[in-house]
């Protein structure tokens, strides 16, 4: 880990923290929530040992990257813009792309907006969801899951203050180590009812790992992260021009069978029934890992390392 280099790069009007290691063809890793560049520590060390240059930023609003105050500054156009500017600043024309959770959503958008910058994509947990011109995302979420669905709760003004009432370390542990694939529901008085069992570290996570994540979220709070969720409907409006667009770059998709995203209504049918391939013509492989939950690249690092290397090594 001490060989990983860190720097700040000015991109798209903000300062972005970037972790980097290795030389060779570049692999850009995009993290999700509640994560940071650090979620890719295992993959960065492995892929750099195979002759690649591993690059993992803290995305806008996360960790040591600047967090603009307005929620409307976190659209897919902003985030992809940051990443294109990052590639330009590093002198990179095209990269291999690897995403997870929100990083997966941004990766899909990046392949829509700028496929010319992507050699191939390995995406995890979140499938490509084509834009439905008839219904906004938040309306769909509320119809399917109700107002206490976590994405709906995150829309509420002041919810970051509600989150801050709970010990950050216990909160992150409850998220990282959760193996219940049902849709997360948050009561309105979240802090009052937050009472998970004392966490036990799984074999794939250390106290040092948890301390790192917690230290960064204590410093920044959760507003930047929540702002991604608050742009769901705005992304829907801004991306009307891409309605019906498909993902043409080569893609490998990986998900755990205990991942909450895999259990969302209709997702399994979408993946295995042919519609996923129809909307992602470049889809070459789908891997469903048994007994694996949401934080797949940390829970099964060796397997994920192999999947990434085997796929990008083809191109």
Q: Would residue 286 be called left, alpha or beta, if left means φ above 0 and alpha means ψ between -120 and 50 degrees?
A: beta
124 forms bridges with which residues in the sheet?
100, 254
Is 229 part of the annotated catalytic residue set?
yes
Counting Cβ atoms within 10 Å, is residue 142 exposed (0-12), middle (13-18) or buried (19+)? middle
In the annotation, is 31 catalytic? no
Check 101, 228, 259, 307 and give the catalytic one: 101
Please confirm, yes or no, whether 294 is among the known catalytic residues.
yes
Among candidate residues 52, 109, 128, 229, the one labeled active-site is 229
Which of the residues 31, 100, 294, 307 is marked catalytic? 294
99: closest CA among 311, 315, 308, 314?
308
- By annotation, the residues acting in catalysis are 101, 229, 294
């Amino acid at each position: 880990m001490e060989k990983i280099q860190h720097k700040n790069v000015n991109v798209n009007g903000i300062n972005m923290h970037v972790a980097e290691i290795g030389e060779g063809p570049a692999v850009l890793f995009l993290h999700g929530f509640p994560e940071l560049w650090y979620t890719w520590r295992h993959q960065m060390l492995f892929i750099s040992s195979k002759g690649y240059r591993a690059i993992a930023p803290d995305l806008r609003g996360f960790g040591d990257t600047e967090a603009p105050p307005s929620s409307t500054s976190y659209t897919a156009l902003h985030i992809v813009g940051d990443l294109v500017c990052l590639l330009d600043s590093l002198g990179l024309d095209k990269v291999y792309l690897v995403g997870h959770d929100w990083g997966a959503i941004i990766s899909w958008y990046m392949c829509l907006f700028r496929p010319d910058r992507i050699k191939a994509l390995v995406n995890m947990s979140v499938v490509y969801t084509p834009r439905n011109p008839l219904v906004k995302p938040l309306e769909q979420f509320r119809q399917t899951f109700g107002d206490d669905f976590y994405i709906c709760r995150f829309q509420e003004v002041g919810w970051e203050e509600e989150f801050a009432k709970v010990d950050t370390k216990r909160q992150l542990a409850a998220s990282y180590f959760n193996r219940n694939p049902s849709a997360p529901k948050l009561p309105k008085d979240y802090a009052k009812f937050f009472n998970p069992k004392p966490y036990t570290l799984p074999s794939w996570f250390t106290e040092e790992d948890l301390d790192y994540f917690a230290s960064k979220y204590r410093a920044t709070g959760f507003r930047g992260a929540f702002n991604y969720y608050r742009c769901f409907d705005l992304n829907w409006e801004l991306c009307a021009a891409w309605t019906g667009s498909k993902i043409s770059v080569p893609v490998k998709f990986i998900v755990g069978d205990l991942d909450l995203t895999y259990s969302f209504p209709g997702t399994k049918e979408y993946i295995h029934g042919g519609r996923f391939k129809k909307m992602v013509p470049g889809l070459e492989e789908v891997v469903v890992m048994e007994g694996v939950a949401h934080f797949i690249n940390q829970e099964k690092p060796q397997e994920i390392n192999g999947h990434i290397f085997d796929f990008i090594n083809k191109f």
